[in-house]
Amino acid sequence: MRSRIAIIVPASVLAIGLASSGWAQAPDPNSAEAKKARLAWFHQAKYGLFIHWGVYAIPAGGWKGARVPGIGEWIMFRARIPVPEYEQLAKQWNPVKFDAEAWVQLASDAGMKYIVITSKHHDGFALYDSKVSRWDAVDATASKRDILKELAAACAKHGMPLGFYYSQAQDWHEPNGAGNTWDFGPDDKKDFDQYLREKAEPQVRELLTEYGPVALVWFDTPRMMTPERSRRFTDIVRTLQPKTLIDGRLGAAGDYVSTGDNVIPGEVQSTAWEVPATLNHTWGYRKDDHDWKSPGDVTFKLVDIVSKGGNYLLNVGPMADGVIPQPSQDTLRTVGRWLKLNGEAVYGAGPTPWGDELGESSSKGARDLRGNPLFLSRNEWRVTTRPGKLYFTFFHEPRVPFELPAMKNKVKRAYRLADGHPIELKVEAGGPRLLIDRPIHDPMATVVVVEIEGDAVER
């Protein structure tokens, strides 16, 4: 009988040995260390462009002469359009004005640092040439353009990270995909795994092999996604592109938390997170939605989100011809001009060391319509941080003198970020105060940098 001798080598020794022998392995992509490394660019980026585009941009919110309420990309579901009828839209798909370079230029002018586009939304229509389905922009249309190929090339050329939204569970085109009960009956009678194995999983593989480095995969609406089914997608992503981020809507924990649509948390969150948000009330283009957020509102939301540690993924819904609605472009570019002067307060900036300025929970126990405790948000100013610097962004003219929140650190100097104009500091018994010039420099948002001794605020 052979004796069994176990030699236990400490992992650290093994790692040194492997590294020096040239056999070093990349860290396990599911490790905390790998996740931290994957998220580094995301924490710097802070602001991204979401694009919802598909054949739903053709009806643009109306079907057979009637207005269909709700978000534009849900028209097939809302109007219960049978698959063969909905498929006819592909015949009209002719995005003659789609210019990938122009989209990337817009994102860049807007100061956005990544793009996420719907590679396939719930209607099942893929914007790229899929080999496992003919319901895509190349096989089902006369235009034959692979939208993702063109966009990926433009993003690569301009160094813009590109991610793909992918509706993994809902697919109203497929008999076994989730969601289409009007053509295919109830979801619990479907062979959902057949759909996953034959369409969704191979398509995610295609996206991760045919379009260069993928910054992230943005899964959505995880219906019927058991842990086992979710793990299959995680494995595909981690195996094919270990640096690719997974959002928070796969059905298993991803690399970061995705909040609800347009939901900005009231307080600082310690894990990585992102708010997907609309500029009006729809994601996919609707010709009747003109209720646009103002540049001031977008700027406030961006700084608010950054001061709570998150990212802002702001959506545009291009029209069927490929043009992004002009009001969206104008708003994004206005915010982009502000960011050119004030971006230091945003990109890679840390959250507020305080928090009282964000608002407070109702002391009287009031609740909102969903029964959640009511949070009374304040919107006068926000603070973001870098080592040794505090960025106070004022959205309203502050009271002068403006009393800085309590900290032990000595304040060295203060100045406006946009033009370096010095701001007078007055030290009184209660602590330092800023004497900010009136009228305030930029009524949309004025950033005052306060330099302090030490890297971080001490309270």
> Residue 56 or residue 394: which is nearer to ligand FHN going by CB?
56
Using only C-alpha atoms, what is the Rg of the chain?
25
Give dist(CA 426, CA 403) in Å, integer. Answer: 9
How many CA atoms lie less than 13 Å away from 171 in the CB half-sphere?
Answer: 30
Say if residue 325 is preceded by a cis peptide, omega within 30 of 0.
no
Q: Which stretch binds ligand FHN (CB under 6 A): 71-79, 366-374, 387-395, 439-447?
A: 71-79
Q: Which stretch binds ligand FHN (CB under 6 A): 70-78, 206-214, 382-390, 396-404?
A: 70-78
> Residue 76 or residue 345: which is nearer to ligand FHN going by CB?
76
Residues 240-279 vs ligand FHN: string with x where CB under 6 A? ---------------------x--------------x---
Give dist(CA 136, CA 144) in Å, integer. Answer: 9
Among residues 29, 56, 57, 73, which is the contact residue for ligand FHN, using CB under 6 A?
Answer: 73
State the helix-helix crossing angle for 326-342 and 295-307, rounded to 10 degrees.
50
The DSSP line for 25-45 is PPPPTTSHHHHHHHHHHHHHH
Smallest gap, in angstroms, from Cβ of residue 178 to ligand FHN? 12
> Residue 62 or residue 348: which is nearer to ligand FHN going by CB?
62
DSSP 197: I
How many CA atoms lie less than 13 Å away from 48 in the CB half-sphere?
Answer: 28
The pair of structure tokens assigned to 238 is 């981690």
Q: Is 289 in the site for ligand FHN (CB under 6 A)?
A: no
CA 363 to chain centre: 33
Smallest gap, in angstroms, from Cβ of residue 78 to ligand FHN? 11
> Residue 240 or residue 257: which is nearer to ligand FHN going by CB?
257
Smallest gap, in angstroms, from Cβ of residue 347 to ligand FHN? 23
Residues 193-232 vs ligand FHN: string with x where CB under 6 A? ---------------------------xx-----------
CA 434 to chain centre: 35
Q: How many residues bind ligand FHN (CB under 6 A)?
A: 8
In one letter, which amino acid is 243?
A: K
Residues composing the chain: 459
Give the footprint of ligand FHN on residues 91-150 (CB under 6 A): none
Q: Is 71 in the site for ligand FHN (CB under 6 A)?
A: yes
Contact residues for ligand FHN, defined by CB under 6 A: 71, 73-74, 220-221, 261, 276, 283
